[in-house]
């Protein structure tokens, strides 16, 4: 097992990784920008190295600074968390070239899944159902119009290098196509430095359902069930639950087995998530995330499996140690992402936390680096906490979530807690009756 792990991230996920390491007897190294000197994970880690100024490109995305910090402190492995360098194949390769272990899949798998066109081709070849769409990138307006006609409107134009819902545009007919194609390319170029786009059938009322998998270096693969992440705003997840209210045990087993067999065919290792859209009983692959997901705690709640611990064990060469039939699913888990944002306009609201009280009790987990007096820096993502509840039934989980939200106090900055408070009272949500567009309508209705 590793003796020392460097955590190449910040915020709640850096703390989450530190906690797993501590419980495994592994020493931790925090790296941080000058804006994060007072962060909780920096305080708790065994060692901390400042790697640069606030701007992420100069600190959390600064490969050389992170590798130097790892070398100086003698770390054996680097955990990248999510975001930042977690899906950067070059970084994973550099970590290996420096004689350390990247806690994640191989650089080749990261590269394959990082380009959405090659990812879709690989998924299809591995037996996963995909959304009907263009074969490759759409480089001319003529191609865009031809494909629009062939796929059938409405279509969605998506960035090959996409992430975080950026560079996505809907075209409802040929007239809209010209503008949508240009805008998607420009947005993709600005966000990812790569303007390549492709096209998919735009599904009208799907749910977003993703399968969590774990694979070791010796060919064993298990799935840990699904997460329903349909509640989104601007293609960003807001609240997630596991299991999905839309699936029964047979459907779960079927899609889980399909996912495992695809992962085995791909020779993938470590944790990963296969994302699908689900409509009229059919699954359609959209992408694979080759890293830990923000919403991983709901899977941990229903399976009792510590995903970060598993990632570290697998990276250290340990076998999975259990088979699919030994994975047990229990109860219902729900996660609310709490952002420092105006709950009406969603404008980020960084600042000082004047008062803080986190909820607790049976089945309640809060993953957050917040404390009273902490100053949320303005340079990073606005998610400041995740509230996760677990209950024996969905009803119990909902009652518990309402109770926990009611206890949560975050003073000094605006947060999205009021949005979650309203959401958990809504009858559609309570009935599990929602698709990926539902939350946008809910937000409009409540503004
Ligand atoms: P990103 O990597 O930018 O997050 P994804 O491919 O994962 O992009 O898609 C993000 C979200 O966009 C999905 O969860 C879904 O809400 C929506 N979406 C993606 N593809 C389609 C599609 N073909 N039809 C309708 N909605 C889609």
Counted residue by residue, the chain has a size of 447
Centroid of ligand 1 to alpha carbon of 252 (angstroms): 21
Q: Is 394 in the pocket of ligand 1 (CB under 6 A)?
A: no
Q: Is 360 in the pocket of ligand 1 (CB under 6 A)?
A: no
> Does domain 132-201 bear CATH number 3.30.1490.20?
yes
pLDDT digits (tens, 9 = 90+) for 112-132: 999 999 999 999 999 999 999
Q: Is 172 in the pocket of ligand 1 (CB under 6 A)?
A: no
pLDDT digits (tens, 9 = 90+) for 207-239: 999 999 999 999 999 999 999 999 999 999 999
pLDDT digits (tens, 9 = 90+) for 22-69: 999 999 999 999 999 999 999 999 999 999 999 999 999 999 999 999
Q: Which of 118, 197, 208, 235 to mutate to test the pocket of ligand 1 (most atoms within 8 A of CB)?
A: 235
* pLDDT above 90: residue 446: no
* pLDDT above 90: residue 171: yes
Percentage of the chain surpassing pLDDT 70?
Answer: 100
pLDDT digits (tens, 9 = 90+) for 320-378: 999 999 999 999 999 999 999 999 999 999 999 999 999 999 999 999 999 999 999 99
Closest CA to 15 of 327, 358, 361: 358
Q: What is the CATH number of domain 207-446?
A: 3.30.470.20
Common-topology check for domains 132-201 and 207-446? no
CATH number of the domain at 4-103, out of 3.40.50.20, 3.20.20.70, 2.40.30.10, 3.40.50.720? 3.40.50.20
Catalytic residue among 27, 207, 291, 337: 291
DSSP string, 353-404: --EEE---STTEEEEE---TT-EE-TTS-SEEEEEEEEESSHHHHHHHHHHH
Mean pLDDT of the chain: 97
Q: Is 133 in the pocket of ligand 1 (CB under 6 A)?
A: no
147, 141 Cβ separation under 8 angstroms: no
* pLDDT above 90: residue 447: no
* pLDDT above 90: residue 202: yes
Q: Is 435 in the pocket of ligand 1 (CB under 6 A)?
A: no
Percentage of the chain surpassing pLDDT 90?
Answer: 98
The verdict on whether 394 is a catalytic residue reads no
Q: Which of 168, 237, 293, 295 to mutate to test the pocket of ligand 1 (most atoms within 8 A of CB)?
A: 168
- CA nearest ligand 1 atom 6, residue: 286
Specify the DSSP element, H or E, that contains 101.
strand 101-102
258, 127 Cβ separation under 8 angstroms: yes
Q: Is 373 in the pocket of ligand 1 (CB under 6 A)?
A: no
Closest CA to 273 of 234, 311, 223: 223
Rounded Cα gap, residues 118 and 410, in angstroms? 43
* pLDDT above 90: residue 399: yes
Rounded Cα gap, residues 412 and 393, in angstroms? 35
Q: Please report which confidence band the pLDDT of residue 390 belongs to, taking 50, 70 and 90 as the band edges.
A: very high
* pLDDT above 90: residue 166: no
Q: Please report which confidence band the pLDDT of residue 199 belongs to, taking 50, 70 and 90 as the band edges.
A: very high
Domain boundaries, the chain: 4-103, 132-201, 207-446
pLDDT digits (tens, 9 = 90+) for 240-285: 999 999 999 999 999 999 999 999 999 999 999 999 999 999 999 9
Q: What is the pLDDT of residue 348?
A: 97
Q: Which residues pair with 272 in a beta bridge?
A: 213
Centroid of ligand 1 to alpha carbon of 222 (angstroms): 25
Closest CA to 66 of 14, 111, 30: 30
Q: What is the pLDDT of residue 162?
A: 86
* pLDDT above 90: residue 163: no
Q: Is the pTM of this model over 0.95?
A: yes
pLDDT digits (tens, 9 = 90+) for 283-313: 999 999 999 999 999 999 999 999 999 999 9
Q: What is the pLDDT of residue 167?
A: 83
**Residue 93, by phi and psi: left (phi above 0), alpha (psi -120 to 50) or beta?**
alpha
433, 409 Cβ separation under 8 angstroms: no
* pLDDT above 90: residue 165: no
> Across residues 137-150, what is the average pLDDT?
95
Rounded Cα gap, residues 419 and 238, in angstroms? 10
């Amino acid at each position: 097992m590793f003796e020392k792990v460097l955590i190449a991230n910040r915020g709640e996920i850096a703390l989450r990784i530190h906690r797993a390491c501590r419980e495994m007897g592994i020493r931790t190294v925090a790296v941080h920008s000058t804006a994060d000197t007072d962060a909780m994970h920096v305080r708790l880690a065994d060692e901390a190295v400042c790697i640069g100024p606030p701007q992420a490109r100069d600190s959390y995305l600064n490969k050389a600074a992170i590798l130097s910090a790892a070398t100086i402190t003698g770390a054996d492995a680097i955990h990248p968390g999510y975001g930042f360098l977690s899906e950067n194949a070059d970084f994973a390769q550099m970590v290996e070239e420096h004689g350390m272990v990247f806690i994640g899949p191989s650089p080749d798998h990261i590269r394959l899944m990082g380009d959405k066109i090659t990812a879709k081709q690989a998924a299809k070849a591995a037996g996963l159902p995909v959304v009907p769409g263009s074969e490759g990138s759409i480089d001319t307006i003529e191609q865009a119009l031809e494909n629009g006609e062939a796929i059938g409107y409405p279509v969605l134009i998506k960035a090959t290098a996409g992430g975080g819902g950026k560079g996505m545009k809907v075209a409802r007919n040929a007239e809209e196509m010209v503008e949508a194609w240009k805008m998607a390319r420009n947005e993709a170029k600005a966000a990812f430095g790569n303007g390549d786009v492709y096209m998919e059938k735009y599904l009208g009322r799907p749910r977003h359902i993703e399968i969590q998998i774990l694979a070791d270096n010796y060919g064993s693969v298990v799935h840990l069930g699904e997460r329903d992440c349909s509640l989104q705003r601007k293609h960003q997840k807001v609240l997630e639950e596991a299991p999905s209210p839309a699936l029964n045990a047979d459907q779960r087993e079927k899609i889980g087995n399909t996912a495992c067999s695809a992962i085995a065919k791909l020779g993938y290792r470590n944790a990963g998530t296969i994302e699908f859209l689900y409509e009229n009983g059919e699954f359609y692959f959209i992408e694979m995330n080759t890293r830990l997901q923000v919403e991983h705690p709901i899977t941990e709640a229903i399976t009792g499996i510590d995903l970060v611990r598993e990632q570290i064990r697998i990276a250290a060469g340990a076998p999975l140690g259990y088979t699919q039939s030994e994975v047990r699913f229990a109860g219902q888990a729900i996660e609310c992402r709490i952002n420092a944002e105006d709950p009406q306009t969603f404008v980020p609201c960084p600042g000082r936390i004047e008062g803080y009280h986190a909820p607790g009790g049976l089945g309640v987990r809060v993953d957050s680096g917040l404390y009273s007096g902490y100053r949320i820096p303005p340079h990073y993502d606005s998610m400041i906490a995740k509230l996760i509840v677990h209950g024996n039934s969905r009803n119990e989980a909902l009652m518990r979530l309402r109770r926990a939200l009611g206890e949560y106090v975050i003073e000094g900055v605006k947060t999205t807690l009021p949005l979650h408070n309203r959401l958990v009272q809504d009858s559609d949500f309570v009935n599990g009756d929602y698709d990926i567009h539902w939350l946008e309508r809910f937000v409009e209705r409540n503004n």
